Structure formats: structure tokens, C-alpha cells
Amino acid sequence: MQFRSINPFTGQIIGTYTSHDQNDADQIINLVYGEFMNWKSQSIIYRAKLLRSVADILLGNIDYYSASITLEMGKVIRESRAEVEKCARCCMYYSDNAGKMLHNEPLVVSHGNAYIRQEPLGVILAVMPWNFPFWQVFRFAAPALMAGNTCLLKHASNVPRCAMDIEQIFIKAGYPANAFRTLLISSGQVEHVIDHPKVAAVTLTGSELAGSQVASAAGRNLKKSVLELGGSDPFIVLEDADIEKAAETAVKARMINTGQSCIAAKRFIIQKSVANNFTKRFIECLSGMQYGDPMQTETDYGTLARPDLAREIAVQVRNSIDKGARVLYGKLPETIDSAYFPPMILTDLKPGMPANDEEIFGPVACFYFVETAQEAVEVS
């Protein structure tokens, strides 16, 4: 089996990567566990020095790494550069502060001396998504490595280039070869990794379904898990707001990463007294955004990360329209033959419609109009 890296804007194959079978995965797990026995004994000062080197490598090669992100999952290049910079800041933060976080905490007891000591867990598995292919990894890896753990990355199958780039960054920074390793495995192999006795814990960012499966496997094995799952965050606009600024901010909040963000604003709940002005300005800002090649700095948004994601959104929108939702802006394509999906605004949404009940992971804004602030809270 091979993983293919495909540019979603052009449809061209960037590269292919040979996957790991179960035996390969077991060997890597054993190597990473073996390194843990050494890594946990390294000083905080030494770990911090290496993590600072990671930040230097990220910033020193920002053009290459930001291009990797954009070419592989379609994020516009400005946002890719910001993502790499954020990863570097994350590494700097934990390099500077982990020592204080991990310092023994004295306890006052009636007899003798006592303190709380922070100990690493061991090998940590991270199941990470494609939408922020560098950030999601570094925000897990930086604190985990500083705490003395070693790391396994199971990245999304459509970003193998980013996954291997990240592994190489840690090696270039001077980390032991098996302190951080990538597993090129399918989602179906994740449960086996969680079951492995030398894996201590797992973290996942992804869908509710994937989260429930990972949590179930972790729970069955009595292993710690940390999950960040999807959501459909409300953006409430009341009549005392600066409507122009609110609308401009709302468009940015919906269109970040072409709408593919767990924490993006997705449902806009607007008081009716300002609804017309807000909607007009929102549409002006949205229609003013430039679609195009994500490698060009003037591009505001590009395609989604994969064609199947565009088709999935089309099904959600079509089913919602069939059940009575109304299109305020944009047009649903008759067919989806690429990763492109146009910005849209839907309203008249009710329970039972996918656009109301489910997260739409793309450039579709859902508008709700309410009379009062209390109603806005209730709808949210």
C-alpha cells in the first residue's frame, strides 16, 4: 500500500510514500519505547536546547515548510507561513517555560517532606488531522517531548509529505532518531497501535466518530486519552455591535483555511434589527475575496483539501435545501469534479437539516435571525 500526496488545486501527484504494515509499526513502536528509557533521563536544559533548535529550523526554512503545507492540502500560502511561525513560537514557549512547569511542587505535611513530581508517561500516540498539518503536530509534540515522553505520529493519509517533513525536523534539530517517529498507517491500524503494551497514551484531533473509536480503544486498555473533536461555533451579532467590523470579522472567521477549521465561526446568529446591514456587508466582504492558486500571495482562499470533502459538503447543503433551507448567497454546483467548493450562505435552518445539525467543514455560513439577545443564546 502507498500513500499519495496530491495537490488539491491542480490534482497532480506530488509524491508517493510506502506504508507501514503491522510488523513495521510494531518495530517502530519498540524502537520509540526503547528511546523513551533514555530520553526520560535527559535534563530539561538539554531537551529545551533541542526544542529551541526545532524553532530555528522552522523559521530558517519557512519557505519550504509553508510550501509543503500549501501544495499538499491547499491552504493559502499566507496562512501556511503563519502556521509554521506559530509552530516555532510554540516550541520557543515550551523551551522557555517547561522547566518551571515540571519543577517539583512542595507540599506542606505534618511529618517529613513531600512534593509533587511530574513524571513522563512513555510513548504517546498522536492521531492528527490534515487541516493544520504542522500546528496540530507541534502543539502536541513540543510539550510531550519536553516532559520526557517519546512520540508516535499517525498523520492524516493525505498529508504524508508534511508528516515526514516533521519527523526530519526533529532529527535535524539533534533529537535521537527514535524520539519522534511517523507511522504511515491506515485508520484501521490505529486500534492495534493503541492496544500495543508499549504505547502509554493517545491524543486525537478529528471527527466525533474517530474520537469515539479512539476513546473506546484507550478506555479498554486503561490508557489516558485527550480528544479535540469537531464543533459548530456560534457567532452572535446584537444590535449594539459595530456592524461593519462584525461583518468583516465574521467573514474572516468563516473563511479561515477555506472554512476547514474546528474553531472557525460557522453559525451566525444575528439580531433582526441589524440583520439587513450585517448581511449586506457580510456578502460584500465575502464576494470581495479572491479565489485562486493558493501559492500566490494575493489569493484569499483555494480549494478544499480533497475532492471527497467537497462532495460531502455538497450532500449536506443539498439535503438541507431539499428540507427547506434557503440560499442567501452562492450557488450549489450541479456536480463536484474537483476539490473546489464555492462560498455559500444558508438560512431558514431548522432541526433535521444537516446544515443545522452537523458541522459543515468548508466555506458555508449558516445564518439565524433572532429578536432578542436571550433568543440568540437559546439558539446558540
What count of residues does the chain have? 380
Return the pLDDT at 232: 85
Confirm if 95 and 146 have CB atoms less than 8 A apart: yes
Collect all residues with Cβ–Cβ distance below 8 Å to 70 and sequence separation of at least 6: 76, 77, 80, 294, 295
Confirm if 99 and 148 have CB atoms less than 8 A apart: no
Burial of 241 (0-12, 13-18, 19+ CB in 10 A): middle
Confirm if 256 and 78 have CB atoms less than 8 A apart: no
- Average pLDDT value over all residues in the chain: 96
Sorting pLDDT into bands at 50, 70 and 90, what band is 105? confident
Q: What is the 3-state secondary structure (H, E, C) of 198-219?
A: CEEEEEEEECHHHHHHHHHHHH
CA distances to 6, 20, 30, 108 from 24, in Å: 24, 5, 10, 49
**Active-site position among 87, 162, 262, 285:** 262
Mean pLDDT of 29-50: 97
Which residue is listed with cell 526520560?
Answer: 40
**Active-site position among 85, 228, 239, 248:** 228
Q: Determine the longest span between alpha carbons in the chain, in angstroms.
A: 76
262 is a catalytic site residue: yes
Distance from C-alpha of 53 to C-alpha of 41, rounded to nearest angstrom: 20
CA distances to 255, 274, 283, 303, 312 from 341, in Å: 12, 29, 17, 7, 10
Grid coordinates given for 326: 434557503
Return the pLDDT at 170: 98
Q: What percent of the chain has pLDDT over 90?
A: 90
Q: Smallest Cα–Cα separation from 213: which of 158, 154, 161, 266?
A: 154
Global pTM?
Answer: 0.94
228 is a catalytic site residue: yes
241: pLDDT strictly greater than 90: yes
1: pLDDT strictly greater than 80: no
40: pLDDT strictly greater than 80: yes
Return the pLDDT at 280: 97
Distance from C-alpha of 78 to C-alpha of 63, rounded to nearest angstrom: 11
235: pLDDT strictly greater than 80: yes
Confirm if 125 and 116 have CB atoms less than 8 A apart: no
Q: Smallest Cα–Cα separation from 219: which of 198, 205, 197, 202?
A: 202
Sorting pLDDT into bands at 50, 70 and 90, what band is 117? confident
76: pLDDT strictly greater than 80: yes
297: pLDDT strictly greater than 90: yes
CA dihedral 337, 339, 340, 344 (to 10 degrees): 100
Distance from C-alpha of 344 to C-alpha of 362, rounded to nearest angstrom: 10
Confirm if 163 and 181 have CB atoms less than 8 A apart: no
Collect all residues with Cβ–Cβ distance below 8 Å to 11 and sequence separation of at least 6: 338, 339
Mean pLDDT of 134-156: 98
Sorting pLDDT into bands at 50, 70 and 90, what band is 233? confident
Number of C-alpha atoms within 13 angstroms, CB side, residue 279?
Answer: 19
Confirm if 154 and 193 have CB atoms less than 8 A apart: yes
Distance from C-alpha of 99 to C-alpha of 122, rounded to nearest angstrom: 18
Q: What percent of the chain has pLDDT over 70?
A: 100
Which residue is listed with cell 431548522?
Answer: 350
231: pLDDT strictly greater than 90: no
